[in-house]
Amino acid sequence: MSAVVPGRQRVFARLRSIARARPAVSIETLAVAASIYFAVASNQTFFRAVAATGALHGTQGALTFASLAVAIIALHTMLLCVLLNRWTAKPLLIVLLLTSAAAAYFMSAYTVYFDADMLRNILHTDGKESHELVSLHALPSILAYGVAPSLLVWRLRLKSRPLLRGVLVRLATIVLAIVVAAAALLASFQGISALMRNHRELRYLVTPGNYLVSLVQVARDAGVDHNRPRAPIGLQAKVVGRLAGDRPRLLVLVVGETVRAQDWGLDGYARQTTPQLAALAQAPAGPINFAHVVACGSSTEISLPCMFSPWGRAHYDKDRIDHSQSLLHVLEHAGIRTLWRDNQTGCKGVCEGLAFESFEHGSVAEACNAEGCLDEAMLHGLADRIAANPGDQVVILHQLGNHGPAYYTRYPAAFRRFTPTCETSDLDRCSRDEIVNAYDNAVLYTDDFLARTIHFLGEQNGRDTALIYLSDHGESLGEDGLYLHGVPYAIAPDTQTHVPMLMWLSPGFSAARGIDTACLKARSNDEVSQDNLFHSVLGLMQVRTPEYDAARDLFAGCERGPA
């Protein structure tokens, strides 16, 4: 027995020695080891996406897989050798491990592509949205793939070298990494070149290179953008053709959030998710639904500035759009007052310098709580704001709408009609039916919000009123493994780019403006897009400016002259 105890003590002493050990490694070795780890732990979504294309089938596919793996390791080694030094190696690598673990989780759970636009969306996400996206369900993955290796990195000791030798070794490692990457790509050049040519979006799944490269692009753009003024547009805008004694006009433009046309009852969805609007549409002066509308982008960050610009997707130039005034400024130049009421995270620069009210943290008792407000809060006090301005007005109501993944929080209990529902932000814990049910309930609430707004406008005595509703982008609800939105536009599915739109004109507005609603209804099955919004609003409000294009005005040609 006495012989066993010393043996056990030696084992424990050995374990304690291992626990206290701090292996010494060079930065170059650390870069290679980290790159191998990233290839294995953070790029599973990438390799699954490559496999889904059929590129890894057969003997040639095995070579393609090996070439891609080696190239990814070599290129990340090169990148890390550029970024790491004796002072930055540990903290920067730990940040990369934690960030890559989170990125890998979201890519696996939602098939997120980390391009520059997605990085902008993430950087502009507020605390409430982040809380919905980052849940306890992600914690085990982040602990296992981010925190555990970070603790190991922190325990390491970094070898030091004389400066000249260190520089030479670093340069040699970078050159060798480039040579290895090139050789790996050449070994399967035909297969890899075809893969990247036909599926360019796959590069946004290579982690951590995807978000590092995109972050550099975003930072570069932000540096150029700093303090850059918006170029004025519509300085010559003026209202034309108004008759003396015409009543003031009020247009409410409701910007929807994440509502897709596929679940819009008026567009033929199997479920009637728009029952109140459908009932209103039976009246001669009911709302007119446009069934084939394409969004400018697959995220709010892109679509919102784009739809309020004169260029749209047809002449898309992100830099020009982001640094020019918008439709609202043109209206203001013409003497039409604007007001942006927001239940989201802002107007993305569209209303810069103009009247703005946020309801993100509102205090309307019947519609708000500590988590935020339902969209109906934006109607609270609106009559008083309108009455304060006797002239023509355009009011924008920017909905929270169907913003995911917490669809179940976007509507009051009375609208929980499709059940069972997904009652968590962790969509991978719910069945697809539960997700769709919660999403459709939120659409039902948007139907109610729009019906309420139309009734509100109908009660505005002394004004001719109108409403335009247009969703900013759609949403994926599990089709082809995709969830949420923000997929690069070139490969975005219809679920993210096909959106609902409708218009409603009061009888007084139609008569005074001379709009033939039968003509407008005849156009409702045409292929249109968010590009039409800028010019249609100007046309409806009779604003003329060099930026106005009658060919994109949905009301042009449906005018019979004032009654």
Residue-wise pLDDT tens digits, 522-554: 999 999 999 999 999 999 999 999 999 999 999
| Residue 105 counted as domain residue | yes
Instruction: For 336-394, give the secondary structure using H, E and C.
Output: CEEEEEECCCCCCCCCCCCCEEECCCCCCCCCEECCEECHHHHHCCHHHHHHCCCCCEE
The percentage of the chain sitting over the pLDDT mark of 90, rounded to a whole number, equals 74
In our burial notation (b when 16+ CB lie closer than 10 A, e otherwise), range 402-429 reads bbbbbbbbbbeeebbebeebbebbbbee
Bridge partners, 337 (sequence order): 393
- Report d(CA 416, CA 427) in Å as an integer: 18
User: Mapping DSSP to helix (H, G, I), strand (E, B) and coil, where does residue 543 land?
Assistant: strand
Q: What is the per-residue pLDDT for 129?
A: 65
Bridge partners, 483 (sequence order): 477
* pLDDT at residue 512 greater than cutoff 70: yes
Q: pLDDT band for position 380 (50/70/90)? A: very high
Q: Does 129 or 513 have the greater pLDDT score? A: 513
DSSP state of 292: E
Bridge partners, 300 (sequence order): none
> Based on the domain organization, do 102 and 219 belong to the same domain?
yes
User: Mapping DSSP to helix (H, G, I), strand (E, B) and coil, where does residue 145 land?
Assistant: helix
> Based on the domain organization, do 220 and 268 belong to the same domain?
no
Angle at 185 between CA 184 and CA 187, to 5 degrees: 65
> Based on the domain organization, do 219 and 262 belong to the same domain?
no
| Residue 99 counted as domain residue | yes
> Based on the domain organization, do 220 and 352 belong to the same domain?
no
The pLDDT tens digits of the residues spanning 90-103 come to 999 999 999 999 99
* pLDDT at residue 430 greater than cutoff 80: yes
CA proximity to 379, closest of 368, 392, 391: 368
561 φ, ψ to 5°? 95, 150
Q: In angstroms, what is the C-alpha Rg of the chain? A: 28
| Residue 180 counted as domain residue | yes
- Report d(CA 269, CA 51) in Å as an integer: 33
> Based on the domain organization, do 12 and 70 belong to the same domain?
yes
Q: What is the per-residue pLDDT for 157?
A: 92
* pLDDT at residue 18 greater than cutoff 60: no
> Based on the domain organization, do 195 and 307 belong to the same domain?
no
The pLDDT tens digits of the residues spanning 387-427 come to 999 999 999 999 999 999 999 999 999 999 999 999 998 88
> Based on the domain organization, do 60 and 173 belong to the same domain?
yes
- Report d(CA 184, CA 188) in Å as an integer: 7
**Average pLDDT in the 168-183 region?**
96
Q: What is the per-residue pLDDT for 126?
A: 67
Question: Domain end: 208, 224, 240, which one?
Answer: 224
Neighbours of 391 (CB within 10 A): 11
Q: What is the per-residue pLDDT for 387?
A: 94
Domain range enclosing 102? 4-224
**Average pLDDT in the 220-236 region?**
81
Q: What is the per-residue pLDDT for 225?
A: 60
> Based on the domain organization, do 303 and 211 belong to the same domain?
no
The pLDDT tens digits of the residues spanning 438-464 come to 999 999 999 999 999 999 999 999 999
> Based on the domain organization, do 201 and 319 belong to the same domain?
no
52 φ, ψ to 5°? -65, -20
449 neighbors 399 (Cβ within 8 angstroms): yes
**Average pLDDT in the 366-370 region?**
90
| Residue 367 counted as domain residue | yes
> Based on the domain organization, do 116 and 153 belong to the same domain?
yes
310 neighbors 549 (Cβ within 8 angstroms): yes
* pLDDT at residue 562 greater than cutoff 60: no
| Residue 557 counted as domain residue | no
Matching residue, tokens 């709009």: 515
- Report d(CA 92, CA 166) in Å as an integer: 19
Tokens of 532: 């039409």
| Residue 146 counted as domain residue | yes
435 neighbors 477 (Cβ within 8 angstroms): yes
pTM of the model: 0.86
Bridge partners, 505 (sequence order): 466
* pLDDT at residue 2 greater than cutoff 50: no
> Based on the domain organization, do 506 and 452 belong to the same domain?
yes
Handedness of CA 251, 257, 262, 268 (dihedral sign): negative
- Report d(CA 317, CA 415) in Å as an integer: 40
In our burial notation (b when 16+ CB lie closer than 10 A, e otherwise), range 469-487 reads bbbbbbbbbbeeebbbbbb
Q: pLDDT band for position 515 (50/70/90)? A: very high
505 neighbors 536 (Cβ within 8 angstroms): no
- Computed over every residue of the chain, the mean pLDDT equals 91
Q: What is the per-residue pLDDT for 1?
A: 45
Q: pLDDT band for position 11 (50/70/90)? A: low
Q: What is the per-residue pLDDT for 220?
A: 80
256 neighbors 343 (Cβ within 8 angstroms): no
Q: What is the per-residue pLDDT for 20?
A: 61
> Based on the domain organization, do 116 and 215 belong to the same domain?
yes
What CATH code is carried by the domain that includes residue 283?
A: 3.40.720.10
**Average pLDDT in the 246-264 region?**
97
Q: Pairing relation of β-strands 288-294 and 498-505? A: antiparallel
* pLDDT at residue 4 greater than cutoff 80: no
User: Mapping DSSP to helix (H, G, I), strand (E, B) and coil, where does residue 547 land?
Assistant: coil
**Average pLDDT in the 306-333 region?**
96
64 neighbors 55 (Cβ within 8 angstroms): yes
Tokens of 287: 């709302």
| Residue 363 counted as domain residue | yes
* pLDDT at residue 560 greater than cutoff 90: no
149 neighbors 29 (Cβ within 8 angstroms): no
- Report d(CA 439, CA 256) in Å as an integer: 14
| Residue 239 counted as domain residue | no
Domain count of the chain? 2
Max mean pLDDT range (20-24, 317-321, 441-445): 441-445
Tokens of 130: 């982040």
**Average pLDDT in the 262-269 region?**
97
Give me the amino acid identity at 16: R
Task: Please give the torsion angle defined by the CA atoms of residues 203, 204, 205 and 211, in that order, rounded to the nearest 10 degrees.
Answer: 120
